[in-house]
Structure 1
Amino acid sequence: MPLRHDARRGALMMLGATACFAVMGACVKALSPRYSFLELMFFRNFFSLPIVLVAGLRMGALLRTRRLVGHAGRAFTGMVAMGCSFFALSFLPLAEQTALNYTQPLFVILLAIPWLGERPGPARWGAVIIGFLGVLAIAAGKGAELGAGTGTTGGSGMLVGYLTAAMGGFFAALSTMLVRQLSATEASTTIVLWQALMMTAMTGLALPFFWTTPSWPDLGMLVLIGVIGGVGQVLNTEAFASAQVSSLGPYTYTGLLWAALLGWMLWGELPGLPMLAGSVLIVGAGVLILRSEFRRAR
């Protein structure tokens, strides 16, 4: 799909995508006490599939490929990353889980060393250190709250949530590396179509072992998770097809604002100073990485 070089359109598409993903995360968090994260993942993939298929076919995507194993690996890593994200939402406040999602670029830098033989410069290493300091700031702040008796979740549960969220960032980065390999011969729309099909099939195979029959109101929310997730995925693809990554980077972090707003409105979750400081460090690290990428591209 040709790059349109329309920065305004790209920004609007990215703002819409981040809003969709934030609402989807809020729905997942609301349903997580009653349903397995695997069941939530199935509905996320199943009901987003028609939207992704229609959008992909409209853009001329084809399923013909000679790299089926590569697509399977990318779908598996994407499924694990999504599973970690959904599972962490059952333990962590929405804004904290969203902030930890932004560790993905940090893991990409680390994986590129053995994977692509890249040698990060001082700016990239500095971004990695700053980003992980942000993660520690968020975790340490929540640990202090729990120690003071103000936490709503047990300390062991919070630890599981942080570790799972960090693991999600790692697998999301691993999935990104696989996409880079596939992109050498495959169109981006083809990669997205195979991912949607395979992730639906994978979660569907596990569904009978974790099935809980939803009520009608919950079923509506489950459908919404898939639909709004699919719309967000399409908007995200359209954004990167409309403008350069370096120009879209700042808009991707608006998801943190949406998550903080929804967390406050729905659960009364007010970000504390450690959360704010950690988020600033993580976002700042992402901006440093984007600047480094832009300079390398020039």
Structure 2
Amino acid sequence: MSNAMTAEPAERVYAGILLTSLAYILFSSQDAAIKLLVVGISVWQVMFFRSVVVLAGCFASGGATLFRDAARSPIVKPMLLRSVLTLLAWLCYYTAAKYLQLAEMTTIYFAAPIIVTTMSVFILHEKVPLLRWGAVVLGFIGVFIACDPAKLGLTMPILLVLAAAFFWALAIVLLRKTALQERTIIQLVLNNVFFLVAAGVPMIFVWQTPSLYELILLVTVGALGGAAQLALFAGMKHAAASVIAPFEYTSLIWAFIFGYLIWHDIPRPEVFVGAALIIFAGLLVIGGEQIRRRG
């Protein structure tokens, strides 16, 4: 399995990098919209509406046949496991958000790409070159510098974010495994059917009628989340998990951009230093791929 993954054509690897980078731009846009929403709407309601919008788009694209194919898919069970892990990551992350600063949360959560790279060795049996390990570590250093966190200690909110990073990393590794076995849109349907059911029950008890503004934001979250999942699932078909892991760090850059545009947050000088390291880490992966293939 490792040989097949490391021998993928350069065009496929670069397509995977491009698609996953696009996915993280969309995810960052979605998170900005969610940050605006959770002031008055519960996370359960946001997840439910997001799934409704995504599934409506899937139905418009493939009709009832698509949903029948999804129900008969051989990856139903692995996708269910992955969806549970993603849900756990969401719940841990947004519960901790009540108690930690964004800088603290971001720094801890971006341990995920390192966990992804490590797990890709033991679970997917991928061969991770030293240069790629260096890119992952360099990206994390960039995140650390950009956020400049205080000495935190192991409080419950911090443990929740670490748990979120672990659950998300494991979900990403499992996604790589299932991405090669099924069509991207089938994975999208299965993932969002689970979220629809999982969020539907608790939403009954926390329902709040959205205003027109909130309704527009809910639809926007669904559109952005669906497009992001589609890009991420497709990207996983093209490149190894350890190749694309460092590109998750680009979410931090977009988070600061959206923070400035929406909330007028002014990044500190350290942010620009960290962002430069994050970008360089991504370029290091691309350069490493070129060198490896020429050799």
Q: Give the TM-score of the pair, scaled to structure 1.
A: 0.70
The residue number in structure 2 matching 1:231 is: 227
Aligned CA distance change for structure 1 residues 28 and 252 (closer, same or farther; 3 Å): same
Count of residues in Structure 1 that have an aligned counterpart in Structure 2: 280
Report Cα offsets for 1:36-75 as digits up to 9, x if no partner: 2222222222222212344466997831223432121011
* Counterpart Cα distance in 1 of 2:115 and 2:243: 21
Aligned partner (choices 27, 32, 39) of residue 45 of structure 2: 39
Relative distance call for 1:143 and 1:249 in structure 2 (3 A) is closer
Matched, 1:49 2:45: no
Deviation at 1:89, TM superposition (A): 5.9
Does 2:86 align with 1:78?
yes
Maintained 8 Å contact 1:15/1:254 = yes
Offset of residue 8 of structure 1: 11
The yes-or-no answer on 1:112 pairing with 2:108 is no
Name the % identity: 27
Residues 5-47 of structure 1 show CA distances to partners (whole Å, capped at 9, x for unaligned) of 6999989877765554333221111122223222222222222
C-alpha distance in 2, partners of 1:51/1:266? 27
**Separation (CA, whole Å) in 1 of partners of 2:277 and 2:14:** 27
1: CA distance between counterparts of 2:209 and 2:53? 17
Cα distance in 2, alignment partners of residues 271 and 233 from structure 1? 28
- Between 1:178-187 and 1:67-76, the stretch displaced more is 178-187
Q: Is the 8 A contact 2:243 2:285 kept in 1?
A: no
Mapping of residues 87-236 of structure 1, within 5 Å: 87=95, 92-93=101-102, 103-117=111-125, 120-139=128-147, 141-143=148-150, 164-236=160-232
1:292 CA displacement: 5.0
Structure 1 residue 204: deviation in Å? 1.4
Q: State which drifts further: 105-114 or 262-271.
A: 105-114
Query: Given the superposition, is the C-alpha separation of residues 296 and 76 from structure 1 closer, same or farther in structure 2, using an over 3 Å criterion?
Result: farther
Find the residue that maps to 2:224 and give its secondary structure. helix
2:109–2:164 Cα contact (<8 Å) kept = yes
Structure 2 residue matching 1:143: 3-state secondary structure: coil
User: RMSD of the TM alignment (CA)?
Assistant: 4.4
- 2:123 aligns to what SS in structure 1? helix
Is the alpha carbon distance of 1:209 and 1:110 closer, same or farther for their aligned partners in structure 2, counting shifts above 3 Å?
A: farther
Mapped partners of 1:109, 1:99: distance in 2? 17
* Higher alpha-carbon deviation: 130-139 or 24-33: 130-139
Query: In the alignment, is the contact (CA less than 8 A) between 2:21 and 2:248 conserved in 1?
Result: yes
Q: Report the alpha carbon displacement of residue 117 of structure 1 after superposing the two structures with TM.
A: 4.7
Tell me the alpha carbon deviations over residues 245-297 of structure 1, each in whole angstroms, 9 at most, x when there is no partner.
Answer: 89999987765554323211221211113333333444444444555566667
Identify unmatched segments of 5+ residues in structure 1: 145-154
- TM-score w.r.t. the length of structure 2 is 0.71
Determine if contact 1:107/1:170 at 8 Å carries over to the other structure: yes
Deviation at 1:160, TM superposition (A): 7.2
Q: 1:21 aligns with which of 15, 20, 27?
A: 27
* Alignment match, 1:149: none
User: What is the letter of the counterpart of residue 207 of structure 1?
Assistant: M
Contact 1:78/1:172 (CA < 8 Å) preserved in 2? yes
Unmatched runs of 5 consecutive residues or more in structure 2:
1-8
Q: Deviations over 1:135-169 (max 9, x none)?
A: 43344x2439xxxxxxxxxx89xx87766555433
